Structure formats: C-alpha cells, structure tokens
Structure 1
Amino acid sequence: MKPIAFGLRTRLLIAFALVSAFTGATVAAVSYLQVRELVLTAAQDKMVSQFRADLEREEAFDHSPSHAELLVLADRFRAVAVFGTDHADGNGITFRDVPERLRSEVRARDRTLVQRVVDDTGHPYVFVGAPLSGGTGTTGVQLFRRLDLAVQQDAIAQLPNSALLIVLFSLVPAFVLALLAARGVLRPVRALRSGVRRVADGHLDTRLTVSGADELADLVRTFNTMAAELESTVAELRRMDERSRRFVADVSHELRTPLTAMTAVSEALDDEALTGDAAMAAGMVSTETRKLGTLVEDLIEISRFDAGVAALRSEPVDLPALVTATLAARGWTDRVDVDLPAGRRVDLDRRRIDVVVANLVGNALKHGAEPVTVAVTTSDDEAVVVVTDAGPGLPDDVSPYVFERFYKADSARVRSEGSGLGLAIAWENVHLHGGTVEAGNAPDGGARFTVRLPRSRS
C-alpha cells in the first residue's frame, strides 16, 4: 500500500497541533492534580481547624466517662466518641464508618490525624480523629468526625472539561502560527523548486533573489552558484562539441578532393597490367583508398546527424521489396534467407532504410555466420525488420555498446573492413524515423538486431 504523502504545510500544521495539544494536555494534567490537592487540602484543613476549635471549647473533666457521657459527647461534636472498648455514634456517622487504621493511629500516637477514604460507592470522605484532653491531661477519649467531599469532588470533576476547552482554543493560535511559519518556509522553497524546474528545462541563466540570512537564504545562494557554474560548464561543453563537429565536418569535406584524385589513380592502377610487387602495392593502395572513401562518407553522414541537418524524405514504400532490392544490389541474395510477405507499405525514407538494412546484414555476414535471415512483419502501428545470424552471438557486456561510434567488441582487432560507424549510422537513421533498433541474441544462438519503425509518419 502506497504511504500517504503530506506536503510541508500540512506537516507543519500537524506538528504545531501536536505540540500544542501535548503542551496543553500536560499543563492541564499538572494543573488538575495541583488544583485537586489544593481543593481537598483546603476543605480538610478547614475541617481540622473547626474540629480543634470545638475541642478547645470543651470543658475539662478528669474521670472516666460513662456510656451516657459518650453519647452526649458524640451528639455535641457530631462525631463518634470512643473510650476503650465503648463507643457512641454521632449524628450521621457510626463507629464502623471510621477507618480502623485511623482509630489505631490516634489511640497509639495520641494526636490529631486525618485520613481520606472512598467508600464502596465511590463517595469521597475525609475523617479527622483527635484525643480529648482533660484537666489532668489525656482522658482516653478519642473523637472522630467525618466530612463529605462530594461537593469538592464535583467541582474537581469539571476541571478536565475546562482543560479540554482550553486545549481546543489553544489550537486556533497554534494553527495561525503554523500557517505563518509555513508561509515563511514555503515561499523560498517554492521559488527554489521553480528555479530547479527552469534549469531542468534548459534555462541555465535562471537566478533566484536572495532574502534574509537564514539557512534557506544560504540554500538559495548555493543554488545560484550551482546554476552559474552549470551554465558556464554547459556553455564550454557546447563550444567544444560545436568545434568538434565542425572539425569532423571540415576534415571530411577537405578529404573529399584529394580522395577523389586518389580514387582515380587507384582505378587507373587497377586497369594496368601490373605484376609482382607493383601489383601488390597497387592492390593495397586501391583497398585502403576504398576504406578511406567509406570512412569519409560515413563521417560526413555522422556530421549531418550531429549538426541536426539530416532530413527525411518519407514516401509510401513497399518494405519487403526494398529489402529485396538492398540484398540484390549488394550481391547477397544467395547468402541470405528471407521471410518477406509482399505488400507491406510503410512511410519511410528509402535511401536511409536501405543503409540500415545493408549495415545490419553486412555486419551479420562479416562478424556472424551464415545462414543470415531477414524477416519483415507489420501491424497496424509499426513495421518490424529482424536480422539474425547463426554465429556465436553477442556477449552480454557488448550488447549495450554495439551502436556506439568506433566501438570494437574485440580490442585486439585494430583494423576492420568497415569504418566502425555503420551501426551508429543505422541507429541514427532508425531514430530519425521515430523508431528503435535493439541488439541481442536469438533463443537458439546467434546475434539478432530488431528494427521497429512506425508505419505512418503522421
């Protein structure tokens, strides 16, 4: 499943909202605990103070109280009165309501103590216990009073709702701040994105306005520096490429004149009845002159492609008939097996496709093994020409480079019969038609070249 991608603005809004919510929740939780403790402590302290004041107003006695006197004490103090094993319940509170731990602690420590409890129904109370002093000191009587904390608990229960409202209201300024922060960040980022797109489209003179002195401003300055360096480098590369193309074209054209004279001389020597070393030298000159002529013509053709002046002269052509004529013109008809269904017409440049087929078949005959097969198939959209030989095929590390200029699969093979540009010219001609050419191996062995051409130039 593809993950959901959020933009920078959305991520900033989410981050600010989470920080605000976390901060508000933390503050609310701490405040809740503090306020809860303060409210309960205040109620408890008030109860203890009142209880102590009531005890101080009690008249001292120095005898052991009877049960009737315990009942009077319990009613007067609205508390449970305990003396030894005897006790008297007060108004609204019984002996069993008082926590046993509190009774034991007050009896043992002889001092005022407080304990909060929650009954089985969840009702909160606070109990205070204190010894009753007499004229000669302690009387052995303990009094226990209870305070209902329901009102305070209800007030405390409202605090989370108030805290939630505060957190929700705090999200509003958080979103506003997030939008302002996102705007400050996104403005230079968007400008940088626009600049990168313009550079990618070829506008290398693109520069961005630098504002501020933060990290984003440094990033914009770095982009401007990079764009300037890239523009300078590309301009220099273009100048070098242009000089290289011009040099190849000029040299090729300049070689044509002396090459024409050399060709005429070699043809004249071929016509002479020479023998011995003279005949061998004349044959070598004639062979090398033809190779040089082929190389010059191929260089001129390549220079046209590089200069962008190569043009198509498309016309409806019977592709199988064109392939047949190409094989016949080179004398390859008896050496090549064909699968050429008649009547397959394709819009193409006759001369250029003739060069493509001649290069591929000639390459198969020179570097592969016979039989060489040429097959033509067509569909509604494209025509396919497949040239297959019966040789050892192309090594895996050679296939990606066979269409490069002057590439040799065998680095030890310095000289070859061709110019080393045949497959490169074939590739250029096919791509000029809007097609593709691929190099690979047939399933049963042997190299296979597949040319795909669109049937219509429209």
Structure 2
Amino acid sequence: MSPRGLRPRLLVAFVLVTVLGAAAVAWSGAGSASTALVTSAQQRLTETVAAQIAAVAPELATPPDQSALERLRAAVGNNTLVVYQDMQSADGSVSALVTDALRSAVRDQKRLVAQRITAEGKPWLLLGTPVMITALDGARTPSGIEVYAARDLTAVEQEIDDMTGSAILTAALALPLAVVLALLAARSVLRPVRDLRDTARRLAAGDLDARSQPQGADELADLTVTINEMARSVQTSMAAMRRMQADARRFAADVSHELRTPLSTLTAVVEVLAMTADGMEPDARESAELAITETRRLVRLVEDLMEVSRFDAGTAQSRMEEVDVTRAVHDCLRARNWLGVVGLVAPGAVSARLDRRRLDVIVANLVGNALRHGAPPVRVDVSASGEQVRVAVTDNGPGLPEHVLPHVFDRFYKADAARTRTPGSGLGLAIALENARLHGGTLTAENIDGGGARFVLLLPRDAEVR
C-alpha cells in the first residue's frame, strides 16, 4: 500500500533517491575498483611469469631434456606445468586446472594467454605461453616448450568482497542521513502547504478574513497569492450578496407590514361586498366574486410573505407544548372540511413536544398541495418510532416529474411555466419546510410506485426551540 499524505510520500521519495543514489555511486565505485584490482593483479602476475621464463629460456638446449624442463618449472615457481612433446614437469594440481581451451589458444596465438577460472571453490588465474627461440637475425620461432602457471586469486577476491561490503555499508550509513535531510526538506516544503490548508479551513468555516503570508518567490508563493486574491474576491462577493439579501428581506418585511393595514380595510369591505353579492346583477356579482377571491388570495400571500420574512430574519417564535399529533392532524382536517376527502391513518394517540400552530400549518400546506395538484384518494399517515414522529401525506396523482423534485420546496417555484396563477401563494411548501427545520425535523418529497407523490415529515418527539 502506497503511503498516504504529501509528507510521507515526500519523505519516502527523498530517502529512496538519496539511498539509491548513494548505493549506485558506491556500487559503481566498488565495481570500478574491483575491475582495476583484478586487471592490476593479472598484469603483475603475467609480467612476473614472463620475466621468470625469460631469465631461464636462453640457457635451455633445444631439444630440451627432462632436467631442462625441471629447471624451467622451478624457475617459474609453484603450480607450474612445463610441456615439451611427450615430456612434462608439473608441480601441484596445475595439470588438472589447465583447460583444453587455454592449450589451443597458446598453440594458435603463439603468445602469452591469460584465463580466469573457478575450481574447487577458489578463483584462479591461468597463464599459458610458448617459449620462443630468437635467431641471430632477430626472428622468433616456437621452441615447442609450453609453460602453464596457475596463480591463486583468493586474496584479490577477498579485497573485492571487502570493497563490496564497504559499498553496502556506505549505502546503509546514508539512510539515517537521508531521513534527517528528508525531514528538514519536508518541513521546509510543507510549512507553506500547512498554512494554506489552515487558511482554506478558516475560509470554509466562514472566516473570510483569513489570509496566508507568501514566503519566497516559488510556485507555493504564487499559489498563496492566488488563494489570497480568491479569498478577497469571495469576501467582496459575499458581502455584496449579504447586503442584497438583507435588502430583499427588509423590503419583503416592510412591504408586507405596510400592506397589512390597507388589506385589513379592504378585507372588511370585501366581506361586506360578499354579503350583498346575491342581490347584484349577474355581471356585477361575477366581478364582486372575483374581487373577493383575489383579495383573499392577496391576504394569504401577504401573510405568507410576513412569515417567510420572519424565518429569514431569524425572529420566528415557537411555543412548545405536549401535543397529541393524531388529534392535531384530525383537527387540522376538520377545520378545513377535509375529513370527507382525506383519509387519516393513525395507531392512536401519538404524543410529542411541538408547536401545535406550526404543525397545523405544515399539515395544511401538505394536504392542500396534494388536493390541488394530486388526485384522490389523499391519505395522511401518522406514526411514531423511537424518538421521532412521522407524518406522511400521500396522493394518487401522476407524481412529481424528476426535474421538479429538487425544486419542490423552492419559493414561488412553478413546475409548469404556463400555470401563471394558482389558488395558493407559491410559498406553502417552503413555509412547511422552514417550520419543520424550526423543530429540528426534516421534510422530504418522493414518488411512490404505481403513481402519486408522498411528502414525509419527521419531527423529534422532544423538539427544542431553534
């Protein structure tokens, strides 16, 4: 598994590069030294054997006898084989070491030939050369005498092993140094990164004044400057947005408040108009009924706008009390003459600590929405599980289109752009959601199998004022 986090990866990469670099340098140095050592030893032994043979060769008679071969072998030293036709003089185990390839090379090339072999677990250097006769005119011809010498390279091999061990030790000693250097490098490199992380967290938490101090003139400094510029831009945009939101909320609250008094007067006039509408001419009565309907709609819209403005301003108040949710839902349906068209399914009394008025608003908005935009039968299910109360309103209509579901609780959202006027204010579901949140609950919308929409309200049984 690869290390997680920038710091571990930086440490691992730095240590690997340092150790592998040290190992490569040490190993290359050891290899070069080993090659040079073997070459030097081979050259030294070759020159020694050649000098020993040259010192005795002028005294040899041609053809040589056995004593001449013995004398030549003794001059060259131990582990030497001297051959002339069928005669030979050998010392040690050199006869078993000399290979046919070396013999053929000596006879074909007519010069000194070297070969390295390993026999019986030991490294050997085999040297083979013909003894040449130099004539008065300087011509050199083979005498038929061949000298083979074997030299033990164990000491040289040991020196090579020591060099290899030194290379390994050097790489091992580089490890703690690499770790220390990696820690220092990681600390230097990651400090600006940690500062940027802390600044980003403060910005995410809402502290738009958070900034990082650029250090140096590298890419991290450029990134720090960019993030600071982004933070300033976001801060400016958020300040402008808050001002606009505050102005919009204040405008809605002021307009709603200013409309209450004239609407109250207009409502009173409309009520009087409603009582006298039956005695009017058909055209006048139709106009009066339209005025009555639109005035009542306007009153509901203003009341909903005032309620929304209280939610936006954070001044919405709740009065918590022990409530029988089943009875409260039943009373909501009865007060609006919905008991004949809406079914209520409940296991009995379901108690919870809620704001009864706000629960009534939620249920009324959900059931009213189901009756307006769904199809009968409409059913309200009340149940309780653990610490929650569940109220589900289900209709038998076509359901909610998929593109509508994410926006169903948006203010003034209309699924059908052609539907410019509706009996409601367009704020009912948004107000229902805000009331659910005020209790610490949730309100969700979904489609059910077979058609129809379902709105599910979940409220804690012991809600706290929010």
Structure 1 residue 389, shift from structure 2 partner:
1.7
Question: Structure 1 CA distance, aligned partners of 2:265 and 2:195?
Answer: 63
> Following TM superposition, by how much is the alpha carbon of 1:442 offset from its aligned partner in structure 2, in angstroms?
3.1
| Cα distance in structure 2, aligned partners of 1:149 and 1:86 | 30
Query: How many equivalent pairs are there?
Result: 454
Percent of aligned positions with the same letter in both sequences? 46
Aligned to 2:171: 167
What amino acid maps onto 1:28 in structure 2? A
Aligned pairs for 1:15-30 within 5 A: 15-30=13-28
Deviations along 1:168-213, one digit per CA (max 9) or x if unpaired, are 1112221121111111111111111111111111110111222211
Aligned-partner Cα distance in 2 for 1:6–1:160? 35
Distance in 2 of aligned mates of 1:208 and 1:76: 86
CA contact (8 A) 2:52 2:75 kept: no
> Aligned runs of 1:10-409 on 2, under 5 Å?
10-58=8-56, 59-61=58-60, 63-78=62-77, 79-83=80-84, 85-119=85-119, 121-134=120-133, 136=135, 137-138=140-141, 139-272=143-276, 273-409=279-415
Q: 53-62 or 344-353, which moves further after superposition?
A: 53-62
* Structure 1 residues 48 and 441, CA gap change in structure 2 (3 angstroms): closer
User: Which residue does 1:455 correspond to in 2?
Assistant: 461
Whole-angstrom CA distance in 2 between matches of 1:430 and 1:386? 13
TM-score (norm 1): 0.94
Distance 2:347 2:153 in 1: 103
Using a 3 Å threshold, how does the CA distance of structure 1 residues 231 and 192 change in structure 2: closer, same or farther?
same
- When residues 448 and 75 of structure 1 are mapped into structure 2, their CA distance, relative to the original with a 3 A threshold, is same
SS at match of 1:57: helix
Q: Structure 1 residues 96 and 382, CA, compared in 2 at 3 Å: closer, same or farther?
A: closer
Q: Is the 8 A contact 1:60 1:133 kept in 2?
A: no
Q: Is the 8 A contact 2:23 2:170 kept in 1?
A: no
In structure 2, the gaps of 5 or more residues are: none
Shift of 1:439: 1.2
C-alpha contact 1:373 1:389 (8 A) present in aligned 2: yes
- Residue deviations 1:211-234 (CA, integer Å, cap 9, x gap): 211111111111111111110010
Unaligned runs of 5+ in 1: none
- TM-superposition CA deviations, 1:153-182 (whole Å, max 9, x none): 122122222211111111222112111111
SS at match of 1:310: coil
Distance 2:253 2:343 in 1: 38
Distance 1:44 1:87, change over 3 A: farther
In the TM superposition, what is the alpha-carbon distance from 1:28 to its structure 2 partner? 2.8
Aligned counterparts of 2:62 and 2:447: Cα–Cα separation in 1: 122
Q: CA deviation at 1:68?
A: 3.8
Give the CA deviation at 1:61: 4.2
How far residue 39 of structure 1 moved from its aligned partner, in angstroms, is 1.7
Whether the 8 Å CA contact 2:94–2:150 is kept in 1: the answer is no
Contact 1:433 1:454 in 2 (8 A): yes
Choose 265-274 or 131-140, whichever is displaced more.
131-140
Query: 1:61·1:134 contact (CA, 8 Å) conserved in 2?
Result: no
Q: Over the residues paired in the alignment, what is the CA RMSD in angstroms?
A: 1.8
Q: Helix, strand or coil: the match of 1:158? A: helix
Amino acid of the structure 2 residue aligned with 1:32: A
Paired with 2:341 and 2:102, the residues of 1 have a C-alpha distance of 117
How far did residue 62 of structure 1 move?
5.2
Q: Deviations over 1:311-339 (max 9, x none)?
A: 21111111111111111111112122112
Partner SS for 1:115: strand
| CA apart distance, 1:4 | 5.7
Structure 2: which amino acid aligns with 1:170? A
In the TM superposition, residue 14 of structure 1 has moved relative to its aligned partner by 1.2
Task: Give the TM-score normalised by structure 2.
Answer: 0.93
State the shift of 1:31 in Å.
Answer: 2.1
Following the alignment from structure 1 to structure 2, what is the Cα–Cα distance between the partners of residues 210 and 135? 86
Q: CA deviation at 1:90?
A: 2.8
- Indicate if the aligned counterparts of 1:386 and 1:448 stay in contact, CA closer than 8 A: yes
Q: Please state whether the residue corresponding to 2:200 is helix, strand or coil.
A: helix
Q: Is the 8 A contact 1:61 1:135 kept in 2?
A: no
Q: Which moved more, 1:285-294 or 1:362-371?
A: 362-371
| CA distance in structure 2 between the partners assigned to 1:61 and 1:360 by the alignment | 127
- TM-superposed CA distance for 1:248, in Å, is 1.1
1:434 to 433, 436, 440: 440
Amino acid in the other structure paired with 2:392 = V
Q: Choose 93-102 or 365-374, whichever is displaced more.
A: 93-102
